[in-house]
Every structure is written in structure tokens, then in C-alpha cells.
Amino acid sequence: MKKRATQLACIGSGKMGEALVRGLLGSGAFRPDQIRAADRDPARCTVMEKTCGVSTYQDNREAVRGADLVLLAVKPQDMETALNEVGETLSSEAVVVSIAAGVTTNWLRQRLAGHPKVVRAMPNAAAWVSKSTTALYFCPGIGEQERKEIQEIFGTVGACVVVETEDHLDIVTGLSGSGPAYVFLLMESLAEAGVTLGLSRPVAVELALHTVLGSAHLALESGKPFAALREMICSPGGTTLAGLKVLEEGAFRALFLRAVEAATRRSRELAR
Ligand SMILES: NC(=O)c1ccc[n+]([C@@H]2O[C@H](COP(=O)([O-])OP(=O)(O)OC[C@H]3O[C@@H](n4cnc5c(N)ncnc54)[C@H](OP(=O)(O)O)[C@@H]3O)[C@@H](O)[C@H]2O)c1
């Protein structure tokens, strides 16, 4: 991506803040001198200086002064305090992007004196290895060019989709936000089955991990629907069909629907 003139302030430099800053630097989207990382924890500031070479701040007001892009990466319960400080020096032209789960744009804008340029992003834990799946919701005050830039920014840490309805971010949270944990459970279960049936644990773990990784690559590179790929590897009377029959009888799909529904419901309950 072309280097831009943007000055970015990252408010909260914990796991997600660091992952996003690393992704932006690693992709060449930003130079270290274009990023200011703020955290109330001095230890996190030291980590960001040492590992990312960016300037760091314990005062959010100073970090935000002159920034045209502000990334809010604190926990939802810390957002109110952070916004009170950010609001004091925020430029009226700055785009504010919050990655906090369940914190609505209305709530954010109310605490930023009605600031119109607010975006919500829902990344997932795979951002730590630049493989996030992120959904974005743009407030109407965000222009076309700004939308494009924000999509490019989150594109540096993985795949990115846009939702046109803010409510959909709760479903996103239930699906791809919590999704890595569902996939870990799937891998855990596959490996455990292998061990129970007689494989050594290292062999079973390796097989489970690379089966999930390879399947995702196959789906991505072939572009075929999941159902078509599943059918491709099922021969009549074969082993895969025997296994799938058990999963269908056990209401695997209905179980997943219930899991995503429960996580979506929880996201709505926690919303403010
Ligand atoms: N982790 C995920 O998988 C994930 C996925 C999607 C979205 N998110 C969202 O990402 C946000 C950050 O999550 P995280 O996992 O990166 O949390 P984290 O590791 O706890 O990082 C947050 C950092 O912000 C600091 N902080 C708290 N209040 C602050 C303030 N007022 N000013 C400056 N810094 C402040 C915290 O310091 P202290 O340690 O002293 O509190 C901490 O270092 C959350 O809102 C979460 O909903 C996370």
C-alpha cells in the first residue's frame, strides 16, 4: 500500500493495539514516525517503543493532538475515561475507529460532542498473526476516500468486510469475533478423537491443525462453495460419508446455529 500522510494515534496498546500497529508497519502502510501509541501502563509503552519503534504516550490528550486517525483499542469498560481525554484534543477532521466490542457509535459520538466521523471495527484474535477477519461499520459522516483508507488499514491485518447495519456487528461478534475459539474447539476435538483411537498426541495435534489450515486454503483458493467442496471429498459408501452421517445425526449444524445465536445474544446484552 502507498505510504500516507496520516498521523495515527493508537489509544490502548495492549494485545489488539499492538497487533494492529505491527500489521500497519509490517505492510508498509505507515512509517513508525506516523504512529503514536498510548497506554496508561508504562510497561506497554516500553514494549511498543522497543518492538515497533513508535513514539509512546501515557497521556491520551498528547497522543491525539494533530492525529487524523484515532484508533480506540481499550476495553469497553475503560472507554469512557479514554474518550473524556481524547475528546479534549481531537481534531474535528479526525476519523475515530473503535474496535471495542458492543460499544455503539451513538454512545461513542455522545461522548465525543457529536463527532461525526466514527467507525466501528470488529477484528478477531487472529490479528496477532495478521490473519484477522474484520467487519467494519461506517457512520454516515465518513467519506468515500476515508472508507477506502480504513478498509486498507484493516486489510493489513487480514480479511475485511463492511456491514451496512450496525446491529449486524453483534452477529459478526458471535460468528467471526468468537469464531477462532470455535475452531480451536474443533481442532481440540479432532485431536482428542485421534488420541482416543490410538494415535500419539503430537501426531494427532499435527493432523488436526493442518487439516483445518489446509481446508481453509482449499476453500479460499478454489473459490468453491463449502457444500460443493464437502461433496467433492465424499465418495458413495466411503469413509467421509460415514463420519459426516454421525455429525448430521448429532445435529452439528443446529448446534452451531445455537452457539452463534448465544454469542450474538450476549454481545447485544453487553452493548451500550
Ligand atoms: N482480544 C480480542 O480477541 C479482541 C477481538 C475483537 C475486539 N477486541 C476489542 O479490542 C479492545 C482491546 O482488547 P485487548 O484484548 O487488546 O485488551 P488489552 O490487551 O487489555 O489492551 C488494552 C490496553 O489499554 C490500556 N488502557 C486501559 N485504559 C486506558 C486508557 N484510558 N488510556 C490508555 N490506555 C488504556 C490497558 O491498560 P491496563 O492493562 O492497565 O488496563 C491495556 O494495556 C477491546 O475493546 C476488545 O473488545 C478484542
Domain identity same for 99 and 209: no
Domain identity same for 160 and 218: no
pLDDT digits (tens, 9 = 90+) for 16-37: 999 899 988 988 889 999 999 9
Domain identity same for 112 and 202: no
CATH code of the domain covering residue 243: 1.10.3730.10
Closest protein CA for atom 17 of ligand 1: 14
Domain identity same for 38 and 114: yes
- Identify which of 47, 78, 86 to mutate to test ligand 1's pocket (most ligand atoms within 8 A of the CB): 78
CA dihedral for 79, 81, 84, 85, sign (positive or negative): negative
- Identify which of 46, 62, 74 to mutate to test ligand 1's pocket (most ligand atoms within 8 A of the CB): 74
pLDDT band at 270 (very low <50, low <70, confident <90, very high): confident
pLDDT digits (tens, 9 = 90+) for 40-68: 999 999 999 999 999 999 999 999 999 99
Domain identity same for 200 and 150: no
Q: State which of 164, 190, 222 marks the end of a domain.
A: 164
Task: Give the separation between CA 21 and CA 90, rounded to whole angstroms.
Answer: 20
pLDDT band at 1 (very low <50, low <70, confident <90, very high): very low
Ligand 1: distance of its center to the CA of 28 in Å? 24
Alpha helices in 53-156 (DSSP H): 60-64, 79-89, 105-111, 144-155
